[in-house]
Amino acid sequence: MRKTRKRKRSFRRVKWLALILVVIIAVAFGCYAAIKGNPSSHEIGDTDHQIVHVMIMGVDSRKDDVGRSDTLMVASIDQTAEKAALLSIPRDTRVAIEGHGYDKVNHAYAYGGHKLTQKSVEHLLGVPMDHYIIIDTKSFERIIDAIGGVDIDVEKRMHYEDPWDDNGGLVIDLYPGEQHMDGKKAIQYVRYRDGEGDIGRIGRQQKFMKAVMAQVLSPEILPRLPDIVKEVSSAVKTDMSVTDLLSFAKQMKTYQANGLEAQMVPGQPAYHKDISYWIPDITDVRELMASALDLTLTTQAEEEAQAAEDKYDADLPKDLKMLAHKTNGSTKLTGQDAKDEEDKPMKPEEISVMVINSSGIDGAGAEVAAVLQRKGFIISGVETGKTNANPITTITTSTRNTDVFYGMPFACVIRDGGSSNQAVVNIGRDYKKKGN
pLDDT tens digits, residue range 393-433? 989 888 788 888 888 889 888 887 656 678 889 999 889 88
How far CA 182 is from CA of 9, 152, 154, 298, 330, in Å, comes to: 30, 11, 14, 46, 29
pLDDT at 52 over 80: yes
Predicted confidence (pLDDT) at residue 60 exceeds the cutoff of 80: no
Query: Nearest 5°: CA angle at 229, between 63 and 90?
Result: 55
* Confidence at residue 307, expressed as pLDDT on a 0 to 100 scale: 96
Which strands form 65-78's sheet, in the order they lie side by side?
A: 236-238, 131-136, 51-62, 65-78, 83-88, 260-264
What proportion of the chain, given as a percentage, has pLDDT over 90?
22
At residue 436, the pLDDT reads 56
Query: Where is pLDDT greater, at 121 or 350?
Result: 121
Beta bridge partners, 279, equal 268
pLDDT over 70 (residue 19) = no
- Report phi then psi at 86, rounded to 5: -125, 125
Please report the pLDDT score of residue 254 as a whole number. 62
Q: What pLDDT is stored for residue 24 in this prediction? A: 53
Range of lowest pLDDT (36-45, 160-169, 424-433): 36-45
State how far the Cα of 88 lies from the Cα of 198, in Å rounded to an integer. 10
Instruction: Give CA–CA dist 68/55, Å, rounded.
Output: 15
Per-residue pLDDT averaged across 153-168, rounded? 68
Per-residue pLDDT tens over the stretch 306-316: 999 999 999 99
Q: pLDDT (tens digit, 9 = 90+) per residue, 191-220? A: 776 656 666 667 777 788 778 877 877 777
Task: Give the number of other Cβ atoms within 10 Å of residue 154's Cβ.
Answer: 19
Over 90: is that where the pLDDT of 98 sits? Answer: yes
pTM exceeds 0.85 for this model: no
Q: Which is more confident, 234 or 127? A: 127
How far from 216 is each of 30, 130, 180, 272, 382, CA to CA, in Å?
Answer: 12, 25, 14, 43, 39
Strands (DSSP E) contained in 98-212 are: 101-104, 131-136, 150-154, 158-162, 170-174, 177-181
Residue pair 209/26 in contact by the 8 Å Cβ criterion: yes
Q: Report the pLDDT averaged over residues 375-399.
A: 84
Q: How far is CA 412 from CA 383, 398, 426, in A?
A: 18, 16, 9
What pLDDT shows up at residue 211? 82
